[in-house]
């Protein structure tokens, strides 16, 4: 999440996935056919998609009215988080400064998943491995990140992950009940409500919201009785659900983000491979990087910049950023694996990484 999107948390299995790169590929899909991609002239090993004619857009949700920024429902809590400074890596247009984001309530597992244009970050701590390490949602700010955290936990839930936040302070994510059911949620002005798509047929029920745009359209998915994911958009004002369909066969579709211009992003399972997608009002782009087994787009901002993760030939997870037609790998310095999960319109990114000790830590990065 980011103000325009994000995704993540998904589940304990998802959050511990390992992804990375080798050879890269991008294809533009129109009406179910894929066009070839041309090599980048920048010597970075990435491919650039060709332009494509218009296709029908998968959604047409009404925009909500402007909301007021909510007051916090809890007081700030100093949990003595990670006080590391900025660590810089890379060079030129791919030079990034990183800062660890760690809620001291659990120093071994944190994920930063969303950021808005006002500098509010959301995420969670706790691996969910057992009853003593449940997921707990948090929020912080770029000014206080790593030092001060507020709580974002659905009332009465066993576990909560806060994943996306927009400029009005509306937070989305999901929570888990005692029976293992997952439900999406919206938090606005200190009030929470449950979000479950009417088509959900899994048992127990399974819904997650993974991102939210500035104009109040949330991105998420539900599971059917066979455990397959189906993506949708949810209007937080009208409570309208709109399914997101892809122009080719996919056994599972997860929508992770949407921006105000109607660009929808996520990932899908196609022929037993997980491939990322970017749906604009003109075309659908497939993104299949690294070992071509697992690529996920997890966030998009208003400028069309996207972030995500992919798996390389050694099954190592890498984050990536795609902006202005150029794709770049983004890895936290000396990390075993990195996932970039959210961003804002200024290009600040958030995500998480695994350090040398095996701990998972959130991060904030800037150029």
Higher pLDDT among residues 79 and 126, named by residue: 126
Domain spanning 12-366, CATH architecture? 6 Propeller (2.120)
Q: State how far the Cα of 332 lies from the Cα of 283, in Å rounded to an integer.
A: 32
The lowest-confidence range among 52-56, 182-186, 205-209, 290-294 is 52-56
CB 261 within 8 A of CB 301: no
Instruction: List the helix and strand counts (H, then E) for the chain.
Output: 1, 30
CA distances from 214 to 195, 279, 287, 297 (A): 18, 18, 25, 19
Strand order in the sheet with 191-195: 159-165, 171-176, 182-188, 191-195
The arithmetic mean of pLDDT across residues 237-245, rounded, is 96
For 223-280, the three-class secondary structure string (H helix, E strand, C coil) is ECCCCCEEEEEEECCCCCEEECCCCCCCCEEEEEEECCCCCEEEEEEECCEEEEEEEC
pLDDT at 326 over 60: yes
User: What's 15's DSSP letter?
Assistant: H
> Per-residue confidence at 10, pLDDT binned at 50, 70, 90?
very low
Token pair for residue 101? Answer: 């984001």
Reduced to 3 states, what is the DSSP secondary structure of residue 160? strand
Nearest to 306 by CA among 244, 264, 252, 353: 264
How much is the pLDDT for 4?
54
Strand order in the sheet with 77-78: 77-78, 148-151, 136-141, 120-125, 110-115
Strand order in the sheet with 349-354: 87-89, 96-101, 360-366, 349-354, 337-343
Q: How far is CA 127 from the centre of its chain?
A: 17
Domain boundaries, given as residue ranges, for the chain: 12-366
The arithmetic mean of pLDDT across residues 149-158, rounded, is 96
How much is the pLDDT for 9?
44
String of DSSP letters for 134-145: --EEEEEETTTT
User: What's 92's DSSP letter?
Assistant: G
The arithmetic mean of pLDDT across residues 32-52, rounded, is 28
> Per-residue confidence at 176, pLDDT binned at 50, 70, 90?
very high
Q: How far is CA 240 from the centre of its chain?
A: 22
The model carries a pTM of: 0.81
The arithmetic mean of pLDDT across residues 318-326, rounded, is 91
Q: State how far the Cα of 245 lies from the Cα of 29, in Å rounded to an integer.
A: 13
The lowest-confidence range among 21-30, 139-148, 234-243, 300-309 is 21-30
Main-chain dihedrals φ then ψ at residue 93, nearest 5 degrees? -75, -10
């Amino acid at each position: 999440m980011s103000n325009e999107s994000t995704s993540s948390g998904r589940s304990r299995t998802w959050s511990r996935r390992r992804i990375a790169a080798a050879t890269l590929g991008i294809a533009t899909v129109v009406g179910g056919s894929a066009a070839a991609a041309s090599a980048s002239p920048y010597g970075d090993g990435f491919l650039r998609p060709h332009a494509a004619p218009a296709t029908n857009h998968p959604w047409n949700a009404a925009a909500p009215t402007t909301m007021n920024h909510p007051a916090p429902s809890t007081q700030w809590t100093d949990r003595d988080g990670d006080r590391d400074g900025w660590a810089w890596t890379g060079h030129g247009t791919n030079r990034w400064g990183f800062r660890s984001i760690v809620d001291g309530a659990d120093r071994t597992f944190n994920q930063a998943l969303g950021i808005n244009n006002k500098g509010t970050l959301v995420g969670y701590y706790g691996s969910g491995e057992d009853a003593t390490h449940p997921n707990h949602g948090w929020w912080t700010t770029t000014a206080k990140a790593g030092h001060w955290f507020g709580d974002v936990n659905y009332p009465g839930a066993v576990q909560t992950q806060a994943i996306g936040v927009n400029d009005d302070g509306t937070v989305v994510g999901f929570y888990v009940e005692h029976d293992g059911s997952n439900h999406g949620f919206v938090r606005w002005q200190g009030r929470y409500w449950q979000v479950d798509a009417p088509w959900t047929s899994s048992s127990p029920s399974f819904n997650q919201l993974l991102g939210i745009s500035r104009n109040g359209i949330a991105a998420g998915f539900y599971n059917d009785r066979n455990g397959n994911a189906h993506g949708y958009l949810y209007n937080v004002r009208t409570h309208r659900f709109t399914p997101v369909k892809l122009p080719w066969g996919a056994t599972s579709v997860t929508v992770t983000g949407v921006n105000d211009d109607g660009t929808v992003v996520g990932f899908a399972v196609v022929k037993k491979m997980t491939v990322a997608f970017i749906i604009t009002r003109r075309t659908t782009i497939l993104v299949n990087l690294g070992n071509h087994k697992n690529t996920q787009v997890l966030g998009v901002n208003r400028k069309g910049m996207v972030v995500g993760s992919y798996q390389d030939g050694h099954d190592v997870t890498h984050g990536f950023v795609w902006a202005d037609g150029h794709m770049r790998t983004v890895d936290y310095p000396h990390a075993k694996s990195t996932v970039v999960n959210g961003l804002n319109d200024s290009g600040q990114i958030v995500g998480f990484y695994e350090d040398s000790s095996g701990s998972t830590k959130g991060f904030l990065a800037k150029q």
